[in-house]
Structure 1
Amino acid sequence: MVAGCAGTGAGATPPARQAAGQVNGTATTAPSPSATSAASATPGASKVEAVLARMSVEDKVGQLFMPVLYGSAADTVSGENQARFGVGTPAKAVARYRPGGVILFPWAGNVKNVRQVVALTNGLQKASPEIPLLVGADQENGRVSRMAPLVTEMPGASVIGSTGDPSLARKAAKVTGTELRALGINLDFAPVADVNINPRNPVIGPRAYGSDPKKVAPMVAAAVQGFHDAGIASTAKHFPGHGDTNVDSHSGLPVIQHSLSQWNKLDAPPFAAAIGKNIDAIMSAHVVMPKLDPSGDPATLSKPILTGLLREKLGFDGVVSTDALDMAGVRKKYGDGQVAVRAIQAGVDLLLMPPDFPKAYGAVLAAVKSGKISTARLDQSVRRLLKLKAARGLLDRAPVADPAEAERVLRSAEHRKVAQLINARAR
């Protein structure tokens, strides 16, 4: 999923949440109201509103998207870019559509060497002078390591989890975040907050910290702190939980039969812990949980799950990202344009890797202009994305990565020692 790997009317004011720690009347480890308030009190609120006020509808719709762009440099001409975006280079695609961000992958030609990645991220930011980009990577470490071999080879989540020491999860995330930031990457699609309770799980497995939610939750919370120590944004995934599946959502649509009480006990605690540490974003899962939403739609398109459980009950008001929209799990029932519209209606803010970008962009823009997605609902998502950027220091000016500094930081002796420490303590 990439990255790997739901409610109220659009734009309406949500009803008051139940008392903190309750999901449909069942106890969870949700954050306190003060923690939730702290999460929403984002620095630079006046700046966010000023930027929002001067954006066109097209600007706002663009902010909802994080596509893959092809090539090793911002000015690289690529047939893939021409076919997918109608322009030849990544820089021209950014200038044309003004997306909220981009995500880097080796298979897209984005990752060759340290200086090349720095030049690429700097070039992409230069192409977006009005609103700096979120530059994302899927760097969980272990099995999913998109920046390998440039970055320090850190142990995966299951190895860290086996130590029983959340401080090591924090150290590992700080190392990874520091190295990503040096490359010009400001958002990591990590940590995995799934509880891997199904040993036959073909897609999570060692990517999770473990199979006990009481042990996974503090690991996730510590990792969020580590990414924040490094000054980058992080993403807990895959909500409402991908740990009890025996189907890979890249190729099929998993169905999880957890009741609400089971979900509260098994799946919710790590996400609640991440929210308690002011996680920047939470990624949806392309899984069906019929006892949480009987519609048959995957969670990515489920308003009862994304708006009802995640927003109203767990109190999360940060950015909700889809998992990759090119995965089979989300494409079985609706076309690529309608998937994007339905995701926004369900409560999503960031549309990750749409397989047909012009179709998805056009569908969302048309839905806004027709009122299918209200202006208030659109502004709600854009405001969340701008708040995330402001909170991580990205809204005033685009960061400029230094290639010499990146070469000094990446795979440093200090960072390799952290990896060695974790491996030595693993059981």
Structure 2
Amino acid sequence: MSVTDRPVPSHDRIARAAFPRRRVLQAGLAAAAGAAVLQTTAPAEAAMRREGWIRSRIARMSVEQQVGQLFVMRVYGNDATASDNRNMNEYGVASPAEIVAKYHLGGVIYFAWADNLPTPAAGARLSNGLQRAALAAPGKVAVPLTISTDQETGIVARMPDPATVFPGAMALGAGRDPELTHDTYEITGAELRAVGVNNDYAPLGDVNVNPANPVIGVRSFSADPALVAELLVAGVNGLQSQQVSATAKHFPGHGDTDVDSHTGFPVIHHTREEWETIDAPPFRAAVEAGIDAIMTAHINVPALDPSGDPATLSKPIITDILRGELGFTGVVVTDSLGMAGVREKYGDAEVAIRAVEAGVDQLLNTPAADVQYNAVLDAVRSGRISRRRLDESLVRILGMKYDRGLHRDPFVDESAVDEIVGNATHKARAQEIADQTITLLRDDADLVPLPAGEVLVTGYGDTTTVNLAASLSDHGHPAQAFVTGSSPSQTLINSAVTRSAAAAVTVVLTYGADTNTAQQQLVQALRDAGRKVVVVAVRNPYDIAGLGDTPTYLATYSWLSVSTEALAKVLAGEIPAAGRLPVSIPSQADPDTELFGFGAGMDN
């Protein structure tokens, strides 16, 4: 029976959740008055200490150090003092520590492909080594590093095994419960901080209203602005409870584009009113919740700035709207400056300068470090970037570091990493969360729970098909895997049809099947052969739009292990399909017609 989920909460409720009312114990007039004095005095003293720490460091920095605080660069390797030819090729120095010293860096970003995190323990050692390099360089003012990464959870995650795996933002949108989201990011924050990462470029505030979006999709919580806002606030609170700065991205909103800003320059055609209604609410909620940082998008929004500049370089968007209208006083960080979306109009040197002029504080993952560092340095020395403007960014950057406790101790206990990262309690909670996210959208064939007999698991994903087959077998449905991949040939399709003859039911995993004719042909060939078919979209839930009247269809929003285990439990009838669709799925023939609306879902 079809059901809809509970109503999406209003912004008033979001605000109440973010700012619970203070409870004052009444113990007589004198005690209440004393408490009031303490409540006003203690914060004032704390603010003075914070201001003093920030100002004393800024005053003693050279201009070279001050400019260096604006840069967050990648480094290669997982030993701060070890040589790596990739560092020499890009920066002219061999080790990560030397990069920190050369550019007086304010921050470093970790990537798996840069070999920063081969293991959690190695990541912790690298973090400590980099912090030592930042604090102990001769002749420098001691300022700890922002160490950041993209641990969104789901399909964008940098932490290595055995870090806890979560199904991702859109799955959390299907779960609907802010507690699930809070716990996801609280655990993520604890594990990040254990390896020395103190700034996470997550969660996303993008509202994915475009099914053709090639870069956001399941990285977004939902197509509903209020639901995105509520879950974004829950994620922010979870991360920052573990002293990890959260970063909402990608402002002013990357949810309605069919161009990937990594490789092109998207234009968002929302009117100002549409932006206020669709894109702005999550970022407003994040600002009100006290988020530490917001990341810019390399997109053009003519209704907000008709100049044609990307938002990253737009003073009307960053200074006038984000800071002026939304009231954001925290750190603004660019998306990677190596992306095509920000490099099409200006050269690298000009990009760096214009970003600072627009109101940006941190320049992320610069593709031409010498060029961009020296360009900003020269702009400060010449007065193009005023000392006052530089000082504004330094106050915000150092303030974020102070607020996350880096002024007290930026180091991590390397001996405790294995006790925290991927521990049994974290993983058990992750599975509980994933179990609430599987969405059953159609079951006209009455195949969920699965009938008795052998199961063939085919379609997308070498690991995913094998994992699901193993999980189904563990849950009482003997299964075999046959991988056909993302674009199966006719030979593979024929083989899948042949193998399915011995199975009571065939489970087909799809990935982008709404636009992939080969996957569509696989599903149709199995149906034409009279097979009982269960289709499961393991990334974007929109696949059903290209699969006609497929009678049984589920969405997991993720191909990760916790999602395949949750799917197996649903297919085995052990848990309900509790997830509800956090987006709508339009018809391909008529985009104004919904195949499935927001909140759609069935109990199995």
Is the TM value for this pair above 0.5? yes
Pick from 210, 216, 219: which aligns with 1:198? 210
Measure, in 1, the Cα distance between the counterparts of 2:434 and 2:144.
37
Pick from 65, 69, 79: which aligns with 2:85? 79
Q: CA deviation at 1:95?
A: 1.5
Q: CA deviation at 1:83?
A: 2.2
Change in 2 beyond 3 A, CA 1:321/1:29: farther
Report the counterpart of residue 413 of structure 1 in structure 2. Answer: 424
2:134 counterpart SS class: coil
Number of aligned residue pairs: 396
Moved more, 108-117 or 120-129: 108-117
Deviations along 1:180-225, one digit per CA (max 9) or x if unpaired, are 0000110000001100000110000000001000111000001000
Q: CA deviation at 1:146?
A: 1.1
Report the counterpart of residue 322 of structure 1 in structure 2. Answer: 334
1:265 counterpart SS class: helix
Equivalent residues of 1:157, 1:208 under 8 A apart: yes
Name the % identity: 48
* Larger gyration radius, structure 1 or structure 2: 2
Structure 1 stretches of 4+ moved >2 Å: 27-32, 40-43
Equivalent residues of 1:195, 1:213 under 8 A apart: yes
Superposed counterparts of 1:246-325, under 5 Å: 246-325=258-337
Measure, in 1, the Cα distance between the counterparts of 2:12 and 2:257.
22
Q: Tell me which amino acid in the other structure corresponds to 1:271.
A: F
Equivalent residues of 1:189, 1:235 under 8 A apart: yes
Measure, in 1, the Cα distance between the counterparts of 2:183 and 2:77.
32
Equivalent residues of 1:29, 1:272 under 8 A apart: no
Report the counterpart of residue 24 of structure 1 in structure 2. Answer: none
Report the counterpart of residue 18 of structure 1 in structure 2. Answer: none
Change in 2 beyond 3 A, CA 1:260/1:100: same
Pick from 121, 135, 150: which aligns with 1:138? 150
2:152 counterpart SS class: strand
Measure, in 2, the Cα distance between the counterparts of 1:269 and 1:163.
20
Structure with more contact order per residue of length (Cα contacts < 8 Å, sep ≥ 6): 1
Report the counterpart of residue 19 of structure 1 in structure 2. Answer: none
Report the counterpart of residue 158 of structure 1 in structure 2. Answer: 170
Equivalent residues of 2:14, 2:230 under 8 A apart: no
Moved more, 221-230 or 109-118: 109-118
Measure, in 2, the Cα distance between the counterparts of 1:370 and 1:29.
49
Measure, in 1, the Cα distance between the counterparts of 2:87 and 2:256.
37
Measure, in 1, the Cα distance between the counterparts of 2:229 and 2:48.
24
Superposed counterparts of 1:369-380, under 5 Å: 369-380=381-392
Measure, in 2, the Cα distance between the counterparts of 1:103 and 1:293.
30
Measure, in 2, the Cα distance between the counterparts of 1:78 and 1:284.
31
Change in 2 beyond 3 A, CA 1:410/1:346: same
Deviations along 1:88-128, one digit per CA (max 9) or x if unpaired, are 10001112211111000111111111221111111000001
Equivalent residues of 1:42, 1:390 under 8 A apart: no
Equivalent residues of 1:386, 1:395 under 8 A apart: no
Report the counterpart of residue 96 of structure 2 in structure 1. Answer: 90
Q: Tell me which amino acid in the other structure corresponds to 1:323.
A: D
1:64 aligns with 2:70: yes
Q: TM-score, normalised by structure 1?
A: 0.90
Measure, in 2, the Cα distance between the counterparts of 1:286 and 1:293.
13
Q: CA deviation at 1:84?
A: 1.9
Equivalent residues of 1:292, 1:304 under 8 A apart: yes
Report the counterpart of residue 256 of structure 2 in structure 1. Answer: 244
Change in 2 beyond 3 A, CA 1:199/1:155: same
1:102 counterpart SS class: strand
Deviations along 1:295-330, one digit per CA (max 9) or x if unpaired, are 000000000000111000000010000000000000
Deviations along 1:352-389, one digit per CA (max 9) or x if unpaired, are 00100010000000000111000000010011000000
Measure, in 2, the Cα distance between the counterparts of 1:223 and 1:259.
28
1:346 aligns with 2:358: yes
Report the counterpart of residue 107 of structure 1 in structure 2. Answer: 113
1:269 counterpart SS class: helix
Q: Tell me which amino acid in the other structure corresponds to 2:370.
A: P
Measure, in 2, the Cα distance between the counterparts of 1:198 and 1:258.
12
Report the counterpart of residue 480 of structure 2 in structure 1. Answer: none
Q: CA deviation at 1:150?
A: 3.8
RMSD of aligned residue pairs (Cα, Å): 2.0
1:383 aligns with 2:389: no
Change in 2 beyond 3 A, CA 1:316/1:43: farther
Equivalent residues of 1:28, 1:268 under 8 A apart: no
1:235 counterpart SS class: strand
Equivalent residues of 1:81, 1:89 under 8 A apart: yes
Which 5+ residue runs of structure 2 have no aligned equivalent? 1-10, 20-42, 136-141, 438-578, 580-604
1:320 counterpart SS class: strand
Q: CA deviation at 1:82?
A: 1.3
Equivalent residues of 1:43, 1:390 under 8 A apart: no
Equivalent residues of 1:194, 1:267 under 8 A apart: yes
Measure, in 2, the Cα distance between the counterparts of 1:28 and 1:319.
25
Measure, in 2, the Cα distance between the counterparts of 1:299 and 1:401.
36
Pick from 401, 407, 415: which aligns with 2:412? 401
Q: CA deviation at 1:403?
A: 2.3
Measure, in 1, the Cα distance between the counterparts of 2:349 and 2:427.
44
Q: Tell me which amino acid in the other structure corresponds to 2:417.
A: A
